[in-house]
Amino acid sequence: MQQEKETEQQILDAVDKFLIKIKPTVHQLEADDEYPEEIVAQMQEMGLFGAVIDPKYGGLGLSVRTYAKIVERIACVWMSLTGVFNSHLIMAMSVQRFGTQQQKDKWLPLFASGEMRGALALTEANCGTDLQSIQTHAKRVGNDYLINGSKTWITNSLHGSCFALLVKTNPNENPAHKGMSLFIAPKGPGFKMGKALKKLGYKGIDTAEFFLDNYALPTENLIGLEEGHGLQHALGALALGRINVAARGVGVASAALKDSIQYSQLRKTFGKPICQHQSIQIYLADMALRVEAGRLLVDSAAVAFDKGERCDMEAGMAKLFATEAAMKNSTEALRIHGAYGYSTEFNVERYYRDAPLLAIGEGTNELQRIIIAKQLIEKNPL
């Protein structure tokens, strides 16, 4: 246990040093909406693309609890960066948890090294939360599947090279999820990139659409080699994504709090620093409570995940609370900063733009409430 704590601290110290180095460049990169090639290369060198991948496949093998702490720290400096390896690791987790041994041996070393990077590709133009409504479909032809359809709002799609692709292998199945499958899908013939999508926040990281036109995949790329389990495989890996997004929420909420504490001691009105005004003090106290409560919920979900327990309720609670904390704290930070909060010279307006994505991504917060309620009923029957 002691050795595990020491290893975790060494990793967190390395992340902190990395963040100190890149922090001066973040503001301009975000403003220019420029993909941070050099920073991503440094993250690859640090092993972050293999953070939770088993060491026998070349990963760091970190606990999700440690991983969440890394995510929080990075999101506190620039939330966009966390999306680069989060989306990638959800893809990797789908293979690690549900793939065959042959699939793990082939793909996980490539994912862990960052040689192949990508994402989980679920969303379509008319389908986000309701994944059973996807239209992308695959037809078995000999030893291949021919896939047609499209995906959108896929992080890493421009700079990535491989995706965990959710499709319908039997569109007529009822219920629909029994006809869905998840594939390991590297870019190739028939895989056509569409446009990059412009966003309110989450700048610097590519989010785009792509189209599949008779895109062929060998049957060996079907995760688990058995059709009909794709939705379960995607949702099983998505629990990691929700913990990541929750940790991002804590990071953004924490950044908003830190900036507000600092600014409130510098800014003076009516002859004294504004931190001495009760209204500002109330803001700061509530912001701090949200950060600490969000952090504890994230930790609870991460511990459950590490134990191999079902954690959709815990991950949903963490994701819901922490991302709403980011929304609220970024708004209150903007108010504390006044006109300067509205200025692009300060980071506060970035937190205000980044936070809404967290309330939407990896399952809307409305969906999280439904998941939580259903689990409460299931765990407390009459």
The residues annotated as belonging to the active site are: 362
Query: Shortest CA distance to 304 belongs to which of 71, 64, 89?
Result: 64
**226: nearest Cα among 185, 267, 178, 298:** 178
Residue 195 parent element (H or E): strand 191-196
- Please state, in angstroms and rounded to a whole number, the distance separating the CA atoms of residues 329 and 65: 24
Structure tokens at 366: 């409305």
**CA distance readout (Å), 138 to 13, 19, 24, 55:** 46, 43, 46, 33
Evaluate whether 247 touches 62 at the Cβ level (below 8 Å).
no
CB atoms closer than 10 angstroms to residue 354: 28
109-124 as b/e: b if 16+ CB within 10 A: bbbbbbebbbbbbbbb
From CA 233, how far away is CA 224, in angstroms rounded?
Answer: 9
Q: Which of 287, 353, 271 is nearest to 279 (CA)?
A: 287
CA distance 147 to 331: 44
Question: Are the C-beta atoms of 243 and 313 separated by less than 8 Å?
Answer: no
Exposure letters 166-190 (e unless 16+ CB within 10 A, then b) = bbbbbeeeeebbbbbbbbbbbbeee
In this structure, are residues 337 and 348 in contact, taking their beta carbons and an 8 Å threshold? yes
271: left (phi over 0), alpha (psi -120 to 50) or beta: left
- CA-CA distance, 275 to 336, in Å (whole number)? 9
Say how many C-beta atoms besides its own lie within 10 A of residue 159's C-beta: 15
